[in-house]
Amino acid sequence: MCIRDSFSTVWLAKDLKHESYVALKIQKSAQNYMEAAFDEVEILEQVSTKWKTKEWQESYRQYESAKEISSDSCNCIQLLNSFIQYGPNGKHFVMVFEISGVNLLEVIKRYNYRGIPLPLVRTVTRQMLIGLDYLHRICHIIHTDLKPENVVVCLSKEELRDIVTKGQFGSNKSEYKH
């Protein structure tokens, strides 16, 4: 499975060491893309580690008192690793992410642009606000490109299985739980 944009290509891959699936974001090889990737990783490393701080753990308990605190508690995508890959088209920066689902724009499209059910809107909004609080207050990062295309939903185990076996997501609206 492959997704392309102006700067990179994202591939679904299996991490054989940890027996899990990951997303490999492979940056184009031009020098300006390489520099942008280094900047992105610097930010993502903060996001992937600061959830462990006492300040965030205390804050999160106010949001979700009974939940266990993990990297998922910050509601932000997690960078797992990064490296440089040399290939026939040059040097590429590769970022390894936890696998995520479709973006919010795809969810909006699946409801034919007529609105998402209110319980789902509440859930997504709450999670986005927790994530933005984490980015701003704990990581000191201001998200400057917040739009439906940049908000991704988490995958259920069933959705991940469908991607692995069928190479795509299902298209049924009922798949979005709230």
Q: Which residues are catalytic?
A: 145
Q: Do 10 and 2 form a contact (C-beta atoms < 8 A)?
A: yes
Question: Any residues with CB less than 8 A from the CB of 36 and at least 6 apart, and which?
Answer: 7, 27
> Tokens 């960078």 correspond to what residue?
79
Residues 6+ apart with CB under 8 A from 137: 55, 59
Look up residue 84 and give its amino acid: I
Q: Report the amino acid identity of residue 104.
A: L
Type of residue numbered 101: G
Burial of 14 (0-12, 13-18, 19+ CB in 10 A): exposed
CB 94 within 8 A of CB 84: yes
Q: What are phi and psi of 83, to 5 degrees?
A: -165, 170
